[in-house]
Amino acid sequence: MSVHNLNVKQQSDAVQQAKIHLAAANRLAVLDDLHEGIDNHFTMIVPGRKDQYLISPFGLHWSEARASDMMIFNENGDTLEGVGVVERSAKCIHAPLHRITGANVVLHTHQNWALALNMLQNNRLLPASQTAAFFMGITAYDDTYLGVADGLSEGERLAAQIGNNKVLFMKNHGVVVVGDTVAQAYKRLYKLERVCRAQVLAMSTGQPIQLLPDEVVHNVQNTAPGDSHSREERDNLFFAAMMRVLDRELPGYAD
């Protein structure tokens, strides 16, 4: 096989894997109760094509997501490959976020516990648990909800808000999580919902919340010496395990 043909095959394999992982993430969001039926959006830059994005067609329930159904669209909202329609707010929010932040994966949901926290006047995430510590220093806040996104300017505004962070809390709206891979981004989204749930439950007791000192947060965020697994390996192990759950509970995402 020539070098050119090998490169073409490698890129084709990368695109197929991206479609499988994105479909899996959609279905996992159903099992983990992070979805709103056919609404909200998960997108990923098409491997090798920085200005084109993968998405599940609007109108499919997230439990129906399949690799073979994944569409490719551009910032104009044109469907370049596949069949279906790109929902307007998906184009308006996701395309600018990818373009401006350079994020490979963008996940946007209205998941219950994160939204509950974002409905409060003070919606700041507290460093009050080991898992919460990982979100300190990578979470930004958009405190002004302007309504349903109907133009690229809204995505550009959100991109300015998130900056170099990995999570954006959207007051009265939901959350955006970005990542280098679907595995990394989905794990981040999953963990975030559990952190938000724990914080809302703790706040509901009316008792003072014990915060972690800055030095403890720093220690948690930095892998302990001798740890045999890198962050990337942990992300991949997590997502592989979650896909095995899908294989048992909601198979067909790789079709």
What pLDDT sits at residue 231?
86
Q: For residue 63, what is the DSSP state?
A: G
Which residue ranges in the chain fall short of pLDDT 70?
1-8, 223-227
What pLDDT sits at residue 225?
54
Instruction: Give the fold, CATH level 3, of 3-249.
Output: L-fuculose-1-phosphate Aldolase (3.40.225)
pLDDT in tens, 146-163: 888 888 999 999 999 999
In three-state secondary structure terms, 62 is: helix
Q: Give the whole-angstrom CA distance, residue 7 versus residue 200.
A: 49
What pLDDT sits at residue 226?
57
From the CB of residue 54, how many other CB atoms can be counted at a distance below 10 Å? 26
- What are the domain boundaries of the chain? 3-249
Q: Is the dihedral of CA 22, 23, 26, 27 positive or negative?
A: negative
